Structure 1
Amino acid sequence: MSAPDPRQAALDAVLALVVELGEDMQHGLAALGLTPARSHVLWQLRATGPAHQRVLAEALRTSPRNVTGLVDGLQQAGLVSRNAHPTDRRAVVVALTDAGEQLVDGLEAGQQELAGVLFADRPDSEIAVVADVLAAAVDRLRVAVATAPTVRGSA
């Protein structure tokens, strides 16, 4: 029997991690009354600041109509607000409310805690290598999907 391909073993480990993280994220977000899609809106607003819904749709790679529904739910929950654009009377800008900022602060703290749990016994130098390898894999996947969209479905 031949030794397993280390690239395949690495992908298998990443896929297993994705499944576990996905399940953990689903449960954690549900406990906060959020969906992954709504949390992506919150993270995007944290990263960019207030934004037009069209800009959010582009950043999240979804339709403006979908973003409208997501923002509606987040606004009803008091996590975002819709405000008039300062110079364009036709435009609306979406922003995190104080409650939204606090919630994202909590999510960020949870991520830091999870990173501590997952990588507690590993030296920083090893973690840096893993981070570099994964970042390169993400970049390669984005290029592969952009040039051959069927790549995504083959995993």
Structure 2
Amino acid sequence: MTSRTTALDRLLTLAGRLTEVMERGMAERGLNRAQATLLMVLHHGGPTVQRGLSQALGVTPRHVTGLVDTLEAEGWVERRPHPTDRRASMVTLTTKGEAAVTTMNEERRNWAEQLFAKVPESELHTFIAILDTLDSCVAPKGEQPHCAS
């Protein structure tokens, strides 16, 4: 086995473990990944029409409608009239949704501090640069990596 194969195997193992931890945290709040992502999009971008959410999430408008319906029923978001288009509505975070996102962001910061506590700052910068390089090699939609040697 080459060191590149070993690196990939370890990266995939770590990614899986990190995903499990994140999903467990979301589930404790009664959220799945798509719902939590939608809340984060609203937090960072502000009130948005559903078409904008569809584009931001890379899913169909119908899927967004289901997500918003569920989140609205549970009090995470609400629909408000669009200020200039009476046919559209704006999706916005409720107080409950904003509080959840604030808590999730704080937990993420704390988790990052704990996870990288033993990594020297210089090595962390190198790690980030490596991740950026790897990210630029992976095509969207699960296609094969496209970096040349």
Compute the TM-score of the two structures, normalised by the length of structure 1. Answer: 0.87
Counterpart of 1:12, as a letter, is D
The answer for the alignment partner of 2:11 in structure 1 is 14
Question: Does the 8 Å contact 1:145/1:151 carry over to 2?
Answer: no
CA deviation after TM superposition for structure 1 residue 8, in Å: 2.3
The answer for the alignment partner of 1:138 in structure 2 is 135
CA deviation after TM superposition for structure 1 residue 89, in Å: 0.5
Q: Which runs of 5+ in 1 are unaligned?
A: none
Q: C-alpha separation between the residues in 1 aligned to 2:134 and 2:124?
A: 15
1:58 aligned residue (55, 58, 61)? 55
CA deviation after TM superposition for structure 1 residue 9, in Å: 2.4
Q: C-alpha separation between the residues in 2 aligned to 1:120 and 1:109?
A: 16
Instruction: Note the aligned Cα RMSD (angstroms).
Output: 1.6
The answer for the alignment partner of 1:107 in structure 2 is 104
Q: C-alpha separation between the residues in 2 aligned to 1:97 and 1:109?
A: 18
Superposed counterparts of 1:6-155, under 5 Å: 6-141=3-138, 144-145=139-140, 150-151=143-144
Question: Does the 8 Å contact 1:50/1:94 carry over to 2?
Answer: yes
The share of aligned pairs that are identical, in percent, is 39
Q: Which runs of 5+ in 2 are unaligned?
A: none
CA deviation after TM superposition for structure 1 residue 81, in Å: 1.0
CA deviation after TM superposition for structure 1 residue 7, in Å: 2.5
2:59 counterpart SS class: coil
Question: Does the 8 Å contact 1:41/1:60 carry over to 2?
Answer: yes
Q: C-alpha separation between the residues in 2 aligned to 1:57 and 1:134?
A: 27
Counterpart of 2:93, as a letter, is L
* Superposed structure 1 runs of 4+ greater than 6 Å apart: none
Higher mean alpha-carbon deviation, 124-133 vs 29-38, is at 124-133
Compute the TM-score of the two structures, normalised by the length of structure 2. Answer: 0.90
CA deviation after TM superposition for structure 1 residue 46, in Å: 1.3
**How many residues are treated as equivalent by the alignment?**
145
Per-residue displacement from partner, 1:11-70 (whole Å, max 9, x unpaired)? 222211111011111211111010111001011111211111111111111010110111
CA deviation after TM superposition for structure 1 residue 136, in Å: 2.3
CA deviation after TM superposition for structure 1 residue 103, in Å: 0.2
Per-residue displacement from partner, 1:94-144 (whole Å, max 9, x unpaired)? 111111111001111111111112111111111111112112212221xx3
Counterpart of 1:36, as a letter, is R
